[in-house]
Chains A and B, each alone.
Chain A
Amino acid sequence: MTADDLYQAEIVARAKSGAGDSRLDPHDARATVDNPLCGDRVTLDLSLAAGHVVALGHRTRGCALCQAAAETLRRCAPGMAPSEAPAHREALAAYLAGRQDLPERLADFSAFAPVRSHPSRQGCVLLPFEAFIEAAAMVDPDRR
């Protein structure tokens, strides 16, 4: 597996979209997480209605994989329940580890298939999900 597979046009395009600031104001929950290994940082906002994500926004200071993953999550998140955030992270981690296929809701992450052979980069793809989990945990219980 080479850098060619990793930085295919689709990932680079999503990384470029993900480089912008799509944070939400107002928002119902916000969390910032750092990757202690590389210093990458994702700030992620959730806006909710009737117990589900209506919109997810983020500002990501990170590598192309992290930015592309945050952007992909932004597209997939509407309709997800905050309480499901940990399960989505596990599903993506299992996919990247080669243990299972992607669930329907995360189908867009198939663009990250080449990352399966780069274990050292899988944390980059998962970082936005760590932020999602933290933000989801902050959601007012009445709104979950």
Chain B
Amino acid sequence: MTFDPAALRAQFPILARRVRGQPLHYLDSAATAQVPLAVLDAVRTHDAMHRANVHRGVHALAEEATQAYEAARGAVAGWLNVAPDEVIFTSGATAAINLVAQSWTRSLSPGDEILLTELEHHSNIVPWQLAAERQGLVLRALPATAEGRIDLAALPAMVGARTKLIAATHVSNVTGAVTDVAALVAAARSCGAKLLLDGSQRAPHGPLDIPALGADFYVFTGHKLYGPNGIGALWARREILAAMPPFLGGGEMIRRVTIERSTYADPPRRFEAGTPPIAQAIGLGAAIGFLSTLDWSAVAAHEMSLTQRLLDGLAADRRIRIFGPAGLQSRIGVVSFDMEGAHPHDICQILDARGVACRGGHHCAQPLMDRFDLAGTTRASIGIYNDASDIDALLDGLDEVARRLCA
């Protein structure tokens, strides 16, 4: 277990490149994190040496590919502290949520309720709308507080006998607020509802203990966890998965097929129709292997000190308003802000010319933007490889924005 920020940066080749003639200051890891050599090598080695389809062949390559794919499932299970056969590979968080929304909801009845929150990413809203339309379900949403957290005070009035699922983000991709999961678990238990957590923004900030957390479903996406695109995972307890009907049909997920009907494989295979993203899964396993060598209390301290540096710098500019917790309590290094007189896209464009990569826009969270009455925010997000120079480059860039656009 180590953590040496400079040595860690050297593991990410892209951080050595220059952008627009400047050193790259990558502050958009909440959108997509960069990948370390360990991931690049694992994907390349798989394709160069072991490429084959999984679960189908008896030849050596097929055996090796299958073993590597299942080892990746084991790595994901380790990151979440769950059993490998409860982990389903999907193409990302969006696909994982759609799987639950299309399959698990089949047992619900018209009038049953799903409770969301105003802080959700569109991928934890739209799949439920599609399910609600199909099944006559009712969607409700917990409001956001002015600090950009889920308003837990509204919980008692929002859950009841008809509530079947609470689907909430574990960490907001806009405000960086970490959800008080215990409160959601208690509310869900009080009415017999299940709890789905969208861990897309939480998973990159350290290993998890899902059983201790108390969720029933957990999803995340690989490309934010320093892994490849096109891979993510759904975890759910064995008995929940066992009762869920298939979502996509095809090869791999069956037991026996006749022209009239089929019987289905047990989870997780039941939910992995077709050839899965094999190299991507192996890359994700490598990412987790790499992350597992880090001392996470040191990483967290590093990320939090950078977050504090950023919050302090932003607070020093009277034109800037932060949307999210002002302190470090229950937050991660995802920081959204608004600058009077400057639009997020103009801010990001001026930052880009200085090699600073930030994200401007609604961050796929339009209900939250509506809550704050904004079209969008500028968001800086901190990953394991960032350092103080990245934060300072951003703050210097914002001074230039103010000079050019707010004069």
Residues on A lying within 8 angstroms of B by beta carbon are 2-4, 6-7, 12, 37-41, 61-66, 118, 121, 124
Q: Whole-angstrom distance between the alpha carbons of A112 and B254 in the complex?
A: 57
Known: A12-B405, A38-B360. A63 touches B353 (CB 8 A): no
Q: Are A39 and B369 touching (Cβ within 8 A)?
A: yes
Residues on B lying within 8 angstroms of A by beta carbon are 20, 342-346, 349-350, 352-353, 360-362, 366, 369, 375-376, 404-405
Q: Chain A interface secondary structure, helix, strand, loop or mixed?
A: mixed
Which of the residues A2, A12, A38, A61 comes within 8 Å of B345, measured between beta carbons? A38
Which of the residues A37, A66, A121 comes within 8 Å of B349, measured between beta carbons? A121
Which of the residues B20, B343, B352 comes within 8 Å of A63, measured between beta carbons? B343
Contacts of A12 in B (CB 8 A): 404-405
Q: Are A7 and B375 touching (Cβ within 8 A)?
A: no
Contacts of A65 in B (CB 8 A): 345-346
Q: Are A64 and B375 touching (Cβ within 8 A)?
A: no
CB distance from B328 to the nearest CB of A (A): 29
Closest chain A residue to B21, Cβ basis = A2
Q: Are A7 and B350 touching (Cβ within 8 A)?
A: yes
Q: Are A39 and B345 touching (Cβ within 8 A)?
A: no
Sampled A-B contacts (12; CB under 8 Å): A2-B353, A3-B352, A3-B404, A7-B349, A7-B350, A12-B405, A38-B376, A39-B375, A63-B346, A64-B342, A118-B349, A121-B345
Contacts of A41 in B (CB 8 A): 375
9 A-B pairs with least C-beta separation:
A3-B353, A63-B343, A39-B375, A63-B345, A2-B353, A3-B350, A39-B362, A38-B361, A64-B346
Contacts of B369 in A (CB 8 A): 39
Q: Are B362 and A7 touching (Cβ within 8 A)?
A: no
Closest chain B residue to A6, Cβ basis = B349
Q: Are B353 and A4 touching (Cβ within 8 A)?
A: yes
CB distance from A94 to the nearest CB of B (A): 23
Closest chain A residue to B370, Cβ basis = A39
Q: Are B366 and A7 touching (Cβ within 8 A)?
A: no
Contacts of B405 in A (CB 8 A): 7, 12, 64
**A3-B352, A65-B345 are known contacts; what are 20 more A-B pairs with Cβ within 8 Å?**
A2-B20, A3-B349, A3-B350, A3-B353, A3-B404, A4-B353, A7-B350, A7-B405, A12-B404, A38-B375, A39-B375, A40-B343, A40-B375, A63-B343, A63-B344, A64-B343, A64-B346, A65-B346, A66-B343, A124-B345
